[in-house]
């Protein structure tokens, strides 16, 4: 047996043992499901997961393997949550748009096992989560080029029962999609959303394509599939090609290679978001008194306690002319705990005129 065969034989043995252990773990998770069904407790328990990760990572003797084991266990718990949600019937996720839209792609990467529900507007996504038709809503929050999605921020402000449960960044890559048999040589016209056309204008000009604007990228792809004409192509995502049976004629044609959209997952809060400190971000919404230095006093407290402010956004208060609210996102420092976060919040409560903890979450990546 050569080295590869030997190693694979060992991996097969380990996998067989892990398959049995996986089933055993999931049987225990099924008991947790029964408990959560009876008590109505949320599936996700941030404090428990942080403790599980720390306790078990410390058991790994090879230090170089620790971060990999942490990621492995973190994935195992994410699968455990997906299983629990499915068993509890709490696995519906809402998004705005049509299949293949960027929100839909973000949803699929975040919740690969979820039941999906499409909404026409961002407000409808909030309604679905608010009234329990969906457990989660996936919404765009900010784009690295186009900036804030202010309407979504205002909807967060006006829905006090809703929290940000997760946040993730999705790189936006536009591809040229055509029907089977189409090539770069057969294409004459390219259709897409104006923004996608603008992002890909250098490529489009180089090839001398005519352009035509469309309501959104996913619909453009659907239209190209329906036309079944090799002279018409769409600019959309690779995922959209799969949905509508199109081929990728050219990948990554947008010139703005660092274009990234930050998405949030919203959830109806059963309780205040659980703060665990290190590794988390806190999202705060607050208003400040009309006195000199009030905003600075709040920000000073954040800095003085070692929390790094990642962003601050200011928006007009809904229905109160020329008054403003602030959204602040901060990173919990290394070594910080839930108690340290609570102390910061208590201090801010005395400095701000209103304060709401909108979320305590980790910033996920949608890229594997
Ligand atoms: C199993 C549970 O549910 C979730 C999944 C966990 C796991 O798989 O270990 C841990 C905490 C929860 O986020 C639990 O609450 O114990």
Q: pLDDT digits over 294-320, tens only?
A: 999 999 999 999 999 999 999 999 888
Q: Where are the alpha helices (DSSP H) in the chain?
A: 3-39, 46-57, 66-88, 102-110, 122-130, 150-158, 194-199, 201-207, 217-227, 238-244, 294-304, 338-351
- The CATH number of whichever domain residue 102 belongs to comes to 3.40.190.10
What pLDDT shows up at residue 44? 87
Q: Which of 27, 35, 43 to mutate for ligand 1's pocket (most ligand atoms within 8 Å of CB)? A: 43
d(CA 139, CA 116): 13
Residues with CB under 6 A from ligand 1: 29, 32, 43-45, 48-49, 52, 77, 80-81, 84
d(CA 246, CA 181): 10
* Band of pLDDT at residue 366, cut at 50, 70 and 90: low
Q: What integer is the mean pLDDT of 174-184? A: 97
Q: What integer is the mean pLDDT of 318-339? A: 94
Other C-beta atoms within 10 Å of 19: how many? 10
What pLDDT shows up at residue 77? 95
Give the CA dihedral 175, 178, 183, 186, nearest 10 degrees: -120
* Band of pLDDT at residue 46, cut at 50, 70 and 90: confident
145 and 196 co-located in one domain: no
Query: Which of 68, 112, 75, 117 minimizes the C-alpha distance to 97?
Result: 117
Domain that holds residue 78: 3-88
Q: Which of 46, 54, 56, 77 to mutate for ligand 1's pocket (most ligand atoms within 8 Å of CB)? A: 77
124 and 266 co-located in one domain: yes
Q: What integer is the mean pLDDT of 218-241? A: 96
Asked whether the beta carbons of 313 and 327 are under 8 A apart, the reply is yes
d(CA 228, CA 211): 17
153 and 179 co-located in one domain: no
Other C-beta atoms within 10 Å of 38: how many? 8
221 and 244 co-located in one domain: yes
* Band of pLDDT at residue 257, cut at 50, 70 and 90: confident
83 and 97 co-located in one domain: no
User: What is the domain count for the chain?
Assistant: 4
Q: What's the token pair of residue 191? A: 């259709």
Quick check: pTM over 0.90? no
216 and 278 co-located in one domain: no
In sequence order, the β-bridge partners of residue 168 are: 263, 364
211 and 310 co-located in one domain: no
Q: pLDDT digits over 187-198, tens only?
A: 999 999 988 999
Q: pLDDT digits over 99-150, tens only?
A: 999 999 999 999 999 999 999 999 999 999 999 899 999 999 999 888 899 9
Q: Which residue has tokens 């993730």?
A: 168
Q: pLDDT digits over 82-98, tens only?
A: 999 999 998 999 999 98
* Band of pLDDT at residue 20, cut at 50, 70 and 90: very high
CA of 88 to the centre of ligand 1 (A): 14
What pLDDT shows up at residue 270? 77
What pLDDT shows up at residue 195? 84
d(CA 118, CA 80): 25
SS (H, E, C) 24-61: HHHHHHHHHHHHHHHHCCCCCCHHHHHHHHHHHHCCCC
In sequence order, the β-bridge partners of residue 337 are: 277
What pLDDT shows up at residue 309? 97
CA of 74 to the centre of ligand 1 (A): 10
CA of 49 to the centre of ligand 1 (A): 6
Which residues, other chains included, contact 173 with Cβ-Cβ below 8 Å and sequence gap of 6+?
A: 237, 238, 251, 252, 254
319 and 340 co-located in one domain: yes
77 and 132 co-located in one domain: no
Asked whether the beta carbons of 117 and 134 are under 8 A apart, the reply is yes
d(CA 129, CA 265): 10
ipTM for the complex? 0.98
What pLDDT shows up at residue 236? 95
d(CA 88, CA 33): 7
16 and 34 co-located in one domain: yes
- The CATH number of whichever domain residue 326 belongs to comes to 3.30.70.260
Asked whether the beta carbons of 86 and 113 are under 8 A apart, the reply is yes
Q: What integer is the mean pLDDT of 7-35? A: 98
- The CATH number of whichever domain residue 61 belongs to comes to 1.20.59.10
119 and 134 co-located in one domain: yes
Mean pLDDT for the chain?
94
288 and 214 co-located in one domain: no
What pLDDT shows up at residue 367? 53
């Amino acid at each position: 047996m050569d080295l590869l065969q030997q190693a694979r034989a060992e991996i097969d043995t380990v996998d067989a043992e892990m398959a049995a252990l996986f089933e055993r773990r999931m049987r225990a998770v099924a008991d947790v499901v029964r408990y959560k069904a009876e008590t109505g407790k949320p599936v996700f328990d941030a404090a428990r997961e942080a403790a599980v990760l720390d306790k078990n990572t410390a058991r790994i003797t090879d230090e170089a393997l620790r971060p990999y084991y942490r990621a492995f266990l973190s994935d195992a718990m994410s699968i455990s949550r997906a299983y629990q949600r499915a068993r509890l019937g709490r696995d519906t996720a809402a998004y705005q748009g049509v299949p293949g839209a960027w929100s839909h792609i973000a949803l699929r990467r975040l919740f690969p096992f979820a039941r999906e529900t499409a909404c026409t507007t961002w407000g409808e996504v909030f309604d679905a989560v608010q009234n329990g038709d969906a457990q989660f809503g996936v919404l765009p929050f900010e784009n690295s080029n186009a900036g804030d999605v202010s309407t979504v921020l205002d909807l967060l402000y006006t829905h006090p029962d809703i929290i940000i449960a997760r946040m993730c960044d999705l790189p936006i890559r536009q591809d040229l999609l055509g029907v089977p048999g189409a090539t770069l040589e057969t294409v004459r016209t390219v259709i897409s959303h104006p923004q996608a056309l603008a992002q890909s204008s250098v490529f489009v000009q180089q090839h001398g394509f005519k352009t035509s604007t469309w309501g959104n990228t996913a619909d453009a792809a659907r239209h190209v599939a329906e036309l079944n004409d090799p002279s018409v192509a769409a600019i959309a995502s690779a995922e959209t090609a799969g949905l509508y049976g199109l081929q990728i004629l050219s990948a990554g044609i947008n010139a703005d290679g660092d274009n990234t959209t930050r998405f949030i997952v919203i959830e109806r809060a059963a309780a205040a978001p659980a703060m665990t400190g290190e590794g988390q971000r806190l999202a705060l919404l607050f208003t400040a008194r009309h006195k000199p230095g009030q905003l600075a006093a709040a920000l000073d407290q954040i800095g003085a306690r070692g929390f790094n402010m990642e962003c601050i956004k200011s928006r007009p208060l809904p229905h109160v002319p020329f008054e403003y609210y602030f959204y602040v996102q901060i990173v919990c420092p290394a070594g910080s705990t839930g108690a340290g976060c609570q102390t910061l919040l208590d201090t801010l409560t005395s400095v701000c005129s209103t304060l709401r903890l909108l979320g305590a979450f980790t910033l996920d990546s949608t890229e594997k």
